[in-house]
Chain A
Amino acid sequence: MPRVRPSIVVPLVLFGGGGLAVLGVAVFFLANAWFGVPVGAQGPVQPIAFPHTVHAGAPAEDGTGGLGLSCTFCHRNVEQGAAATVPAVEQCMFCHAAVGGTTETAQAEIQKLRDTAKVGEPILWKRVYRLPDHVQFVHDVHVRLLSQQQGVTPSETCSTCHGQVETMIKVTQVRSLKMGDCVDCHRQYTAPTDCAICHY
């Protein structure tokens, strides 16, 4: 066996180890990006800090709970078409023309809302859930089928894909909704898995 000089072994071990560590970190990030919930899982910063807890959270006895609005009250198109849609400013103003908020932060946020309404411009909400452009998703079939199957109201089906939004102060993505995720569920329900259902 040829003798290996320690002057080669030391840097080899050092740099080899360092290389492995770098590789390990890279593999971790790649695997995370590929299999995990997309990067930015904290959710984007919204122009107005709109809390789902206050509006959609279940009302509590002592008045600390939310208003208990149903999801379909605001996301009106969810049973009619592809996009769930986010409500127009006018719809927020049904209430917020009168409701100014009790705490200071609430007042500040609601003031932003009122200012936007005065200008007559839409609020530029940032998307939380976003599939790539080459995928076509439709809400209505899913919501209808899940509510029939589970015997619940349409609003209670949202948690299948979006998690407990009513307990989120800020909406964050909880389910990966990558192709494998979609197709797994489609197989489970014997829904179509033809590529042309989702890609066109």
Chain B
Amino acid sequence: MVTPRRDRKWQFVVDMDRCSGCQACVVACQAENNIPINSEAQFNQHRAVEWIRIERYWEGEFPNVKARFLPVLCQQCGNAPCEPVCPVYATYHNNEGLNVQVYNRCVGTRYCQNNCPYHIRFFNFWEPVWPESLRNQLNPDVTVRSRGIMEKCTFCVQRIRRAELDAARTGKPVGERGSEQEVGLQPACVQACPTGTLVFGDLNDPEHFPTLAKLVKHERRFRLLESLGTEPNVVYLKKVDLEAKEEVHGA
């Protein structure tokens, strides 16, 4: 008998009230996922690769300005606009709620990028290069994408796989914190986040992912561009603003 597998539904919660815009998640993601170093020129060309980025908004007029931070990563949409446009089925939805990108299947048409409303898919316009000193820090569990390939946040699928395999070997369940009784699983950005803005877990397993289970139903909950019907798997929690006045948006 093959190892029984749990029915997973991976989800993220981003609590915007906690985000301080420190960019630790961006750096952690860069290191974990073999993302090449972005140069200033690449940013200017809008060709920088950042699987998770912090969008910054200013609110109000000087001197009463407030900075607002919005971490944006692949929303792993349940009804993903990127998937049906791929002519070679390199991107598809798997049964764990992940929007998978099969790099070796990808031929680089960039249709998916054009169809993504969150601008969270990135194309490798160049062969990635790292300084010699960083060669040995490449993560062996993650494919190094070559030129001409689309890439995006995977919810750190390599960590999910490793945790599931460790769990199968040791007989312990996978949980949000590593402990004597459970195999810990956190994507790199969640692990690096100092304020607990990012929470990751399996929606079908509230016992081992209690933080996610609690926050996912929070009253401040919303999802990015929900009106498009993309059914994102990333849930945002609104900022708590004590001075905010009641305001009707889009009126």
Contacts and interface: CB of A to CB of B under 8 A. Distances in A.
A141 B3 contact: yes
Contacts of A144: 169
B90 to A, nearest CB: 9
A133 B5 CA distance: 26
Contacts of B96: 196
A189 B1 CA distance: 8
A176 B194 CA distance: 47
Contact of B165 (A141, A189, A191, A196): A141
Interface stretch (B59-67, B136-144, B227-235): B136-144
A189 to B, nearest CB: 6
Contacts of A88: none
- B-side binding surface: helix, strand, loop or mixed? loop
A85 interface: no
Interface residues of A, number: 21
A137 to B, nearest CB: 11
B135 to A, nearest CB: 14
A83 B157 CA distance: 18
A200 interface: yes
B102 A190 contact: no
Contacts of A109: none
B165 A200 contact: no
Nearest to A144: B169
A138 interface: yes
A145 interface: yes
Interface in B92-146: 92, 94-96, 98, 100, 102-105, 141-144
Contacts of A190: 2
Contacts of B157: 196, 200
A145 B2 contact: yes
B161 interface: yes
A33 to B, nearest CB: 17
Contact of A136 (B94, B161, B169): B161
B168 interface: yes
Given A141-B165, A200-B142, A189 B2 contact: yes
Contacts of A200: 100, 142-143, 154, 157-158, 161
A199 B154 contact: no
Contacts of A134: 103-104, 143
B143 A196 contact: no
Contacts of A194: 94-95, 100
B94 A196 contact: yes
A125 B239 CA distance: 56
The 6 A-B pairs of least Cβ separation, nearest first, read A134-B104, A196-B100, A134-B143, A200-B157, A195-B102, A199-B102
